[in-house]
Structure 1
């Protein structure tokens, strides 16, 4: 399969990643095109499903969510029905910032945001430990975010 993006598309994506609210005319100046072709390229990338949406990125620290814990989860059952049940249940927990199915010594890796250790303990006791098919968990508390929300250049 060939790459559908040319260098101008990549410049557009990099600029939108840095600032999704950039004016089309300003974006055109940055990439060397007028407003109409830039808008057409963006629309085409949206239709391709390459651009899936635009959103505000909130500061977890300003929201009081400075505590980050990574949680390994091992399941008692990894058949499709059990995985689907776990996936649906974990999506309903607001404190779960990210969740990945893992190939390795455990089944899932969760990134949990909370106010502090007491808040995390409540989330673990009331929500995470009640997820379907959970056999065991291991928690790792982050001391410092070295790289967060880094988007590689295209």
Structure 2
């Protein structure tokens, strides 16, 4: 699918990854097009699924989430029904920012936020350990974020 993108399409996508609120006029100027062809290309990129959505990136620290943890979840029994229930329940928990089914020693890796370590401990005890199929959890706490929300490579 990405082979259909030319240099200008990639420039549009890169500009929007940096500033999703960019006006069409500014976007057109940034990529060297007039406004109408730029708007047409943008509409095509959206309709072809290259742009999933537009959203605001919120500040975790300003909202009081001082802890970021990566949680390695393991199942003892690998049952499709249990995994489906686990995934459905995970999607309903707002403090779980992402969940990936992975290969290796863990079955899933989750990125979780909490206000502080006490809040994180309570979440682990009351919510994580009671999710369907979970037999083991291991946490890695982020000490410092080096890079966040990087855009996709478009070269």
Q: Above 0.5 in TM-score?
A: yes
Deviation track 1:82-116 (CA, whole Å, cap 9, x = no partner) reads 21111001111111011110111110001110111
Report deviation, 1:2. Answer: 6.7
**Structure 2 residue aligned with 1:12:** 12
**Structure 1 residue aligned with 2:91:** 91
**Structure 2 residue aligned with 1:128:** 128
Q: SS of 2:85's equivalent?
A: helix
The number of residues matched between the two structures is 154
CA distance, structure 2, for counterparts of residue 57 and residue 65 of structure 1? 14
8 Å CA contact 2:129–2:135 kept in 1: the answer is: no
Report deviation, 1:153. Answer: 4.2
8 Å CA contact 2:69–2:141 kept in 1: the answer is: yes
**Structure 2 residue aligned with 1:106:** 106
Report deviation, 1:126. Answer: 1.2
**Structure 2 residue aligned with 1:143:** 143
**Structure 1 residue aligned with 2:48:** 48
CA distance, structure 2, for counterparts of residue 77 and residue 35 of structure 1? 56
Structure 1, unmatched stretches of 5+, are: none
Report deviation, 1:152. Answer: 3.9
With structure 2 as the length reference, what TM-score do the two structures score? Answer: 0.95
Report deviation, 1:138. Answer: 0.7
Report deviation, 1:148. Answer: 1.2
Q: SS of 1:73's equivalent?
A: strand
Report deviation, 1:142. Answer: 1.1
With structure 1 as the length reference, what TM-score do the two structures score? Answer: 0.95
RMSD: 1.2
CA distance, structure 2, for counterparts of residue 110 and residue 11 of structure 1? 32
Deviation track 1:18-47 (CA, whole Å, cap 9, x = no partner) reads 111111111111111111111111111111
